[in-house]
Chains A and B, each alone.
Chain A
C-alpha cells in the first residue's frame, strides 16, 4: 500500500484502530515489509459485507481492522420517522438470521414503555417462535464454521434443516424470512391448528438426527479439532471486558443468559440449562451452539406441552401513542444479547430508538484476538462470533 493511501486509510478509520502499528513501514528483523490484504467486503467466505484490513507478516497476522458500514441502512434514524407498529418490519431486517428475536426485542421495549399486559398464549407462541428461530440460526452457523474450514457439505445439511423450519414459519406467519409476526401487545395470528403437531414432529426428528447429521460428522474429526482447538482463545476477563455476549461469552465459562438472568416473556415457565464451556475457543463456541440447539429443542417441547389457551393479542389501543418516557427490552438472540431502547415524546412516532446488536458488540473481538493468528484462522474466529452484517451495520 502506498503511503498516501495508508494515510487516507488511517484517517478513515479515525487513527490506528488497534494501536498495534506504530510505524507505517513496519519491517521485521530481516528488513522485510509486511503486506496489507483487503479481505472483503465482497469476499466469498466473509460473513456479509465486512471488510477486514489484514496486515500480514508471511501468514501471520500483525494487525486486523474490521471496517463496517457497507450495509448501513440508517435503521435507527428511519425508526424515528415511523409510527410505532411500522418499525417492526424494519427490525426484521436487522439480524436477518434471527428476525423473530429482533421483533421480540422491539415489541418488549414498546410494551415496557406502554405498560401493556400480554396474554399468556401470545407469550408462549413468541417463545416457541424464538426458539425455532434459534435452531434456524445455530444450525447454519455450525455449517458456516465448517464451510470456512473447507468442508462444503455440512452447510447444505444445515440449510436443509433451516428450510424445514422456514416451512413452519411460512405456515405460521405467511413469510419465510421477514415475518412481521410479533406485534405490539401479542402476535399477529394464532397458530394454525395442525402446526403444534408439525413442530413437535420436526423437533423430534431433529433431536433424533442431530447426532447423525452434524455432531458425529464434525465433533470427532481430527482436522476439525486441530483447526479449532485453541484458535481465537479468549479468557473470561477479556470476554467480559469486551462486552461479549451469547455463545462467545458462554464458551469462556460465564453463564450469562438473558433468558435466565433477566427473564422475559414465557421463559420463567420453562426449565433449561445454560450451556457453558471453559475452553473459550472456536471449538468451545461450536460445542456451546450444539448444546443450545438441544436446549432449544427442550424448550420448544415444554412450550408445546403446556400451550395456554386464550387470545393472542392484548388490549392495545388502536393508535399507539405512549406517554412520555422510556422503554427497554432485552432478549437473548442466537448471537447474544439484543437490547432495544425506545424513547417516547408523547407522539405516535418514537423520539429515539436504539438497538444494541450482539454482532456489532462482539465484533470488537476481532481487533484484539486476531493479531498473532495465521491468516486461515480468521475464518474460525469469525465462526465464534458468527456476525450478521444486517446486525452490525443496522
Chain B
C-alpha cells in the first residue's frame, strides 16, 4: 500500500505541492530560528541574556512574535501606491524561498537537481532588488525612497562580485549543478573548494552580506539616518514578511556558501559518513556560517554608500577576476590534477 501511495505521490502535481510545502516550512522556520538566535547572540555579545521569558528559556519567543505581528494592523501610508506597496514583501519573499529548490541537503535529497543551479541562484537573487525598489517606491516616503535607491545601487553592484566568485567553482567542477559541485568535493575536507578558492570565498561572503543587507552593508535600512529605509512604512505581517525574507536569504547565502566552498553535505573525513543523515553536516556548516553573519552584525559599524561602492568595484571585482584567471590557468596547466 505504501508503495502505491508513493507511486501516486510521485506524480507531478503532488511533487509540486510537496516541494512548495517543504520550502515554505523550511523558510519560515528558518526565519523564526534566525530571529531567535539573532536576539540571543546579540544578547550574549552585549553581556546580557536576550529574550528569556517565553517558555522554555525564551525559545518560544518567535511564536509570541508571530502572534503579535498577526494581530497588528497593516498600515499603509496615505497616497502610497497600494498594489506595489503590498506586492513588495511578496516580491522579496518568493525569491528568497525559491532558491531552496536547488540546494542539496543530503545524498539524493534535493528538490530539483537543475543542471543550471548556479545560474538559477544568481538570477533569482537578482529579483530581490526589485522588491526593495518596489517597497521604497510604493511607500511614498522620502526615507523609503532613499533606502530603495541605495538598495538598488548596492544589490545590483554586489551581484557582479557574487557572480564572479561562483565562476571559479563552475570552472573547477565543469558543471553548474550544485549536486555535481558537492560530489566533486568528496573524500575529505582537503578536497573542499575553500582552500584553492579562498579569495573567491571572501568575495562571495562579503557580497553575500551585502545581498542580505546586513550590518557593514545595511545601507538600504540605515537605521541611524533613514530609520529603516525601504521598510520604514511597513507594519504587521507585511513587515514580518520582509524580515522573514531577509532572514531566509541569510540562511540561503550560508547554505549556498557551505555547498559551494565547504563541501555541502560531505563529511570532513570519510569515516564520518552518515549516509542520508549527512544533512547533519550540511546543517552544521550552514549554521556556522549563519553564526558568523550574526557575529559580524553585532560587532561592526556601517559603511557609507560611496565607500561601499569603492569596496565592491575597486576591490572585490578585480580580486574575483584575478582569481578567475588563476583558476582557469591552473585548470589548463594541470588538467590531470584538476580532473
Alpha-carbon distance between A383 and B47 when the two chains are bound, in angstroms? 24
With a cutoff of 8 Å between Cβ atoms, the chain B residues found around residue A226 in the complex are 303-304, 307
The 3 lowest CB-CB distance pairs between A and B, nearest first, are A150-B302, A149-B301, A45-B224
From A150, A156, A160, A377, residue with most partner B Cβ within 10 Å: A150
A: residues with CB less than 8 A from B are 35-37, 39, 43-45, 56, 59, 146-153, 156-157, 160, 221, 223-224, 226-227, 374-379
Decide if A149 touches B307 in the complex (CB within 8 Å).
no
Contact of A153 among B225, B298, B303, B306 (CB under 8 A): B298
If the complex has contacts A150-B301, A223-B216, A224-B301, are A375 and B146 also in contact, measured as CB distance less than 8 A?
yes
Decide if B301 touches A151 in the complex (CB within 8 Å).
yes
If the complex has contacts A35-B142, A375-B225, are A156 and B47 also in contact, measured as CB distance less than 8 A?
yes
Decide if B300 touches A379 in the complex (CB within 8 Å).
no
Decide if A379 touches B225 in the complex (CB within 8 Å).
yes
Decide if A153 touches B143 in the complex (CB within 8 Å).
no
Decide if A45 touches B304 in the complex (CB within 8 Å).
no
Decide if A44 touches B47 in the complex (CB within 8 Å).
no
With a cutoff of 8 Å between Cβ atoms, the chain A residues found around residue B48 in the complex are 156
Decide if A374 touches B305 in the complex (CB within 8 Å).
yes
Q: List 5 A-B contacts (CB under 8 A).
A: A37-B142, A37-B146, A152-B42, A223-B301, A227-B303
Count of A-B residue pairs with CB < 8 Å: 85
Alpha-carbon distance between A160 and B45 when the two chains are bound, in angstroms? 13
With a cutoff of 8 Å between Cβ atoms, the chain A residues found around residue B303 in the complex are 223, 226-227
Q: Mark B116-135, 1 if CB is under 8 A from A, else 0.
A: 00000000000000000000
Chain B residue at minimum C-beta to C-beta distance from A44 = B227
From A44, A149, A152, A377, residue with most partner B Cβ within 10 Å: A152
Decide if A376 touches B46 in the complex (CB within 8 Å).
no
Interchain nearest-CB distance for A283 vs B (Å):
12
Decide if B47 touches A221 in the complex (CB within 8 Å).
no
The prevalent SS among residues of B at the interface is: loop
Q: Which of B113-170 contact A (CB under 8 A)?
A: 142-143, 146, 150
With a cutoff of 8 Å between Cβ atoms, the chain A residues found around residue B143 in the complex are 37
Interchain nearest-CB distance for B210 vs A (Å):
14
With a cutoff of 8 Å between Cβ atoms, the chain B residues found around residue A374 in the complex are 304-306
With a cutoff of 8 Å between Cβ atoms, the chain A residues found around residue B47 in the complex are 156-157, 160
Contacts A43-B227, A221-B300 aside, 8 further interface pairs with beta carbons under 8 A come to: A44-B227, A150-B224, A151-B299, A151-B302, A152-B42, A223-B303, A375-B146, A376-B225
Interchain nearest-CB distance for A278 vs B (Å):
24
Interchain nearest-CB distance for B136 vs A (Å):
13
Interchain nearest-CB distance for A164 vs B (Å):
13
Alpha-carbon distance between A45 and B46 when the two chains are bound, in angstroms? 19
If the complex has contacts A37-B142, A374-B305, are A379 and B224 also in contact, measured as CB distance less than 8 A?
yes
Interchain nearest-CB distance for A132 vs B (Å):
22
Interchain nearest-CB distance for A206 vs B (Å):
15
Decide if A153 touches B45 in the complex (CB within 8 Å).
yes
Chain B residue at minimum C-beta to C-beta distance from A146 = B301
Q: Mark B25-49, 1 if CB is under 8 A from A, else 0.
A: 0000000000000000010011110
Q: Which of B178-210 contact A (CB under 8 A)?
A: none
With a cutoff of 8 Å between Cβ atoms, the chain A residues found around residue B298 in the complex are 152-153
Alpha-carbon distance between A44 and B225 when the two chains are bound, in angstroms? 9
B223 within 8 A of A: yes
Decide if B302 touches A223 in the complex (CB within 8 Å).
yes
Chain A residue at minimum C-beta to C-beta distance from B142 = A37
Interchain nearest-CB distance for B19 vs A (Å):
38
Decide if A376 touches B42 in the complex (CB within 8 Å).
no
Q: Mark B290-334, 1 if CB is under 8 A from A, else 0.
A: 000000001111111111000000000000000000000000000
Alpha-carbon distance between A373 and B196 when the two chains are bound, in angstroms? 42
Alpha-carbon distance between A145 and B306 when the two chains are bound, in angstroms? 20
If the complex has contacts A147-B224, A150-B215, A378-B225, are A59 and B45 also in contact, measured as CB distance less than 8 A?
no
With a cutoff of 8 Å between Cβ atoms, the chain B residues found around residue A39 in the complex are 225
If the complex has contacts A44-B223, A148-B224, are A59 and B146 also in contact, measured as CB distance less than 8 A?
yes
With a cutoff of 8 Å between Cβ atoms, the chain B residues found around residue A36 in the complex are 142
Interchain nearest-CB distance for A387 vs B (Å):
16
Alpha-carbon distance between A148 and B215 when the two chains are bound, in angstroms? 12
Alpha-carbon distance between A122 and B48 when the two chains are bound, in angstroms? 38
Alpha-carbon distance between A224 and B307 when the two chains are bound, in angstroms? 12
Contact of B300 among A44, A56, A223, A378 (CB under 8 A): A223
Chain A residue at minimum C-beta to C-beta distance from B45 = A153
With a cutoff of 8 Å between Cβ atoms, the chain A residues found around residue B42 in the complex are 152-153
If the complex has contacts A45-B225, A157-B47, are A150 and B142 also in contact, measured as CB distance less than 8 A?
no
B264 within 8 A of A: no
With a cutoff of 8 Å between Cβ atoms, the chain A residues found around residue B150 in the complex are 59
Interchain nearest-CB distance for A9 vs B (Å):
15
